[in-house]
Structure 1
């Protein structure tokens, strides 16, 4: 045990160090993830992982990754994290999430990804209002 913890720690350090290849090396060649809250958002394969992180590191040149909480259970790792940095236009960006990763062959093999950009959403009452209005949902699939 402990390999999943080491992997996600190495991954987040690589992101903060802007070491694309070190970040990508944490992922299985056949890695696949899904974002259940965003229909159709799937990452398939290490090359797509590389493309996504290259774009992120290029678009947020001072990116910092931080682990907020980490739990390992067998071959599954639950990770709460925060990414922060500055966009090319000078605006700040904070991105938070929870990732559930499966570990196989000493690599991150699959994931269920829950992420969101931090923003002022108007408070809890506004959130409940959005949850109870059908038009707030967007198109149904």
Structure 2
């Protein structure tokens, strides 16, 4: 009989954080299911499916932002779902600053991320505040 070790879903997200910060594409790939579904509900045109696409997207991100770093600020787990607050930052190859902050919700099964809903946005310069949302 084979015993399968099941990790805490949070550990899968922490593995992905380490792979991202190490710019380790192979380790990043191992964090995702072959059938992974990425959705950005406020940007539906950015959705995609498949682990191969994860590899392509992160390889391109590492090329465009050679010093890209991610900080997992907070994390909560309920059964196989993980809520994670992220701060991702670096300097793009064209010397422009990249500074993203937001939340990602992940589904984890068999020690791999099977789906995500991403809500990461660029940090904006100070402006009119929340009033600007209502026009």
* Structure 2 length-normalised TM: 0.89
Paired position in structure 2 for 1:117? 122
Superposition pairs for residues 1-141 of structure 1, below 5 Å?
3-120=8-125, 122=127, 123-129=129-135
RMSD, aligned α-carbons:
1.4
Query: Where does structure 1 lack aligned partners over 5 or more consecutive residues?
Result: 130-141
Which whole-Å deviations, capped at 9, do the CAs of 1:43-80 have from their partners, x for residues lacking one?
20000111110111111001111011100110101111
Paired position in structure 2 for 1:135? none
SS class of match (1:119): coil
Which aligned segments of 4 or more residues in structure 1 are displaced greater than 6 angstroms? none
* Structure 1 length-normalised TM: 0.85
Give the aligned length: 129
Query: Where does structure 2 lack aligned partners over 5 or more consecutive residues?
Result: 1-5
